[in-house]
Chain A
Amino acid sequence: MVKKISKLLRTSSEIVPRDKFYTPGSSRGFLDLVNQRFLLKLLVAKEVKVRYRGSYLGQVWTYIKPFVLFLIYFMFVGYVMGGNDRVYNFGIYLFAGLSLVQFFNEVFRNCTISLRSNAALVRKIYLPRELFPIAAWRVALTHFIPQFVILLVASFVIAFSSHPVNLFFLDFKHILAFCLGILLISLFAIGAGMIFATINVFYRDAENLVEVITMCSTWISPVLYDYRLFSEIAPHWFYNIFMCSPISAAVELFHYAFVYDRNFRGDRWAIPVHWVYAANFIPYTLIAFGISGVFLVVGQILFHRFEGRFAQEL
C-alpha cells in the first residue's frame, strides 16, 4: 500500500515504464495530475505572469476590478434600490456573494477556454489534458485570495464594532461553511468548465454561451438581494430550484460564514430570520453538492471520451 502510494507520488519521468510496453496518450484522468504538481505550478505561474504582462499596475488590477464592481452595486443596489434597508450588513453581504460569484465566473470562463488558449501545447505535446482546467482553477484561486482577505478583515471589523464578544465568531462552523462554499463552487465550476471546454474544442459557440451564463450568474443567485425577497415573489417550485443551484447554495454558505449567524446574537434583529431558513439550508446544500458531483463526473467522462481528438481538432 505504502509502496503503491509512493509510486503514485513519484515524478512522471520516473513513472514511465522502461521495460514494459504502454500505449502512449492513455490517461488516468485526474490521477495523472498527482505526478505533475511541478508542471502545474509552472503553468499557473505562466498564466498569472502572461495575463498582466506589460501593464503598469500588474497584479493590482485583480483588486481594482472586483472593487469597482462592488462599489457600483453597493451604491446602486444598496442605496438607490434600497438593499441597505432590507438586508442587514448589506456591504459584507454583497461582497461575500459577489466575490464568490466572480470566482465562479472566472473559473468557469477560464476552464472553458483553457484548451483553446493552450492549443499550441495540446496540439503538439502529450500531457494529461486535465492539467489545463485545473491550472485555470488555480489561477482563479490566486485572484480570489486577495478578495477573501479583504472580506475577512471587513467582517472582523464589523463584528467587533457591533458586538465585541463576537470576536470569537471564527469558530468551527463558520470556517467549515467557508471551506464548503469554496469546495462546492469549485466542483461545479470545474465540472461545468470541462463540459464546455470539450464542446469548445469542436464548436466555438460554447465560449459565447459561457459569456451569457456568466453575465446572468450574479442575478440568478442571492447576491444583490435577500433570498426572502425572492421567496415572497417567486412560485414555490421555482424558489426551490433557485436555492438548489450550486451557485446559490455556495453563496448562502458564504453568507453564513461571513454575515449571518454572528450578527443575530443580541443585535437589532430580534428574531434570527436565518434560522427559519436554516431548516432547508442543509438539504439545499446537499442537493447542490449532488448536482456539482454530477457535473464533475459528466465533465470528466466527456473529457476522457473526446480527449483523443483534441489535438487534431484544435
Chain B
Amino acid sequence: MKLFGKTMTPDPEVVVDIQNLQKLFKLHHNYSLKDSFVNLFTRSNIHKTMFTALNDINLQVHRGEAVGLIGRNGSGKSTLLKQITGVQRPDAGSVRVKGKMAGLIEVGAGFHPDLTGRENIYLNGAILGMSKNEIEQKFDEIVEFSGQAKFIDTEVRFYSSGMYMRLAFSVAIHTEPDLFLVDEVLSVGDNEFRKKCIQKLFELKNENRTFMIVSHSENQIRQICDRVVWLHHGIIMADGTPDEVYPKMNAFQS
C-alpha cells in the first residue's frame, strides 16, 4: 500500500474474501407437494416467510490470522462458516478462498456410528480431502493424538461422546488444511484434551495457517485469536482485537 509516496509494509495475503454477502432462509418449509400446492393458490404472504440470516457481510481474512467469530445464538456464525466451506451458497455477494479448507462445522459430521474407529478415520480423512497415502502415513499419529488406540477397532456407536469427538477432531486436525474452520468444537472433550487441542492449534498457527473459530468461551477466543468479529442478527457489529470487541459486545448486551 502506498501512502504519501512511502511504501508501507505490504498487506499480508488475503485468503478469504467475502463481499456483500447475503443469505436468506425460508421460515416455513413445505415438505409435501400438497402443502406447496395449497400455498400456490392461497398465496400466503411470501415475503414475510423469508428471513435474512446474513446481511451485507464484508470480510477479509489474511494468511496466518486466527479470527474468532462471536455473537449470540442464532446470530449467523455457523451460517457464515457454511458459506465459506461451500456447503451453502450465498443469495447475493461473493465468497472466494485460497487453499485447502477443513471445515469442522460439526465434529464428526462424516462419522458413521456403525463403522469402527479405524474405518471412520479412513472415511472421514477422505471426506476432508486426504488421499489414501496421506491417511496411511498419518494414521498412527491420528490414533495417538486421539488417545483411542485401544478402541480403534470398536464401532464408534459404543464410544462415549467425548471419545467420539476426540477421534473426529484428531482426523480433522491432521488433514493439514490451509484454512481451518472450527465451530464450537473446542468445548467438547475433557480439560486435558482441550489443552492438547489448543496446543496443536498453536503449532498450526506457527506454520502460518489460517483459522476461523466460533466459540462462546471468551477465554478460548482470547487464548487463540488475535482478531474477533462480532455478529449480531446477521450483521457485523464490530471487528478488531479481543480487547476492543468484547467490551463493546458486553456493553451492548447489558
Which positions in A face B, CB cutoff 8 Å? 11-14, 16-26, 38-39, 42-43, 45-46, 49-50, 53, 120-121, 123-127, 203-205, 308-309, 311-313
Contact = CB atoms under 8 A, between A and B. Distances in A.
A21 B178 contact: no
Nearest to B89: A308
Interface stretch (B38-46, B128-136, B158-166, B236-244): B128-136
A123 B87 contact: yes
B94 A23 contact: yes
7 contacts: A14-B131, A23-B94, A121-B109, A126-B103, A203-B33, A203-B36, A205-B33
Contacts of B96: 21-23
Given A121-B109, A125-B109, A308-B89, A22 B98 contact: yes
A39 B126 contact: yes
B139 interface: no
A36 to B, nearest CB: 8
B167 to A, nearest CB: 16
B105 A125 contact: yes
Looking at A17, A39, A46, the one whose CB has the most chain B CB atoms below 10 A away is A39
A127 B130 CA distance: 13
A11 B130 CA distance: 8
B100 interface: yes
Interface string B81-105: 0101111110000111111110101
Interface of B: 17, 25, 29-33, 36, 82, 84-89, 94-101, 103, 105-106, 109-110, 112, 114-115, 119, 122-123, 126-132, 134, 175, 178
B223 to A, nearest CB: 26
Contacts of B25: 312
Given A203-B31, A308-B88, A21 B17 contact: yes
A126 B87 contact: yes
A209 B110 CA distance: 29
Nearest to B84: A24
- Sorted from nearest, which 3 A-B pairs have the closest CB atoms? A25-B86, A24-B86, A308-B89
A24 B100 contact: no
A35 to B, nearest CB: 9
A255 B105 CA distance: 51
Given A22-B96, A23-B86, A53-B114, 13 more contacts: A19-B98, A24-B84, A25-B85, A25-B89, A49-B115, A124-B109, A125-B87, A125-B127, A204-B31, A204-B32, A205-B33, A308-B88, A311-B88
Nearest to A125: B109
B20 to A, nearest CB: 14
Contacts of A38: 126, 131-132
Given A16-B99, A42-B123, A124 B129 contact: no
Contacts of B128: 125
Contacts of A49: 114-115, 119
A18 B110 contact: no
Contacts of B130: 13
Contacts of A16: 99-100, 129
Contact of A11 (B17, B114, B131): B131
A26 B130 CA distance: 19
B141 to A, nearest CB: 17
Given A38-B131, A123-B87, A126-B87, A24 B126 contact: no
B17 A18 contact: no
Looking at B29, B84, B110, B119, the one whose CB has the most chain A CB atoms below 10 A away is B110
Contacts of B134: 13
A203 B32 contact: yes
B102 to A, nearest CB: 9
Contacts of A13: 100, 129-131, 134, 175
A235 B33 CA distance: 35
Contact of A125 (B17, B30, B103, B119): B103
A49 B178 CA distance: 33
Nearest to B29: A313
B29 A20 contact: no
B105 A18 contact: no
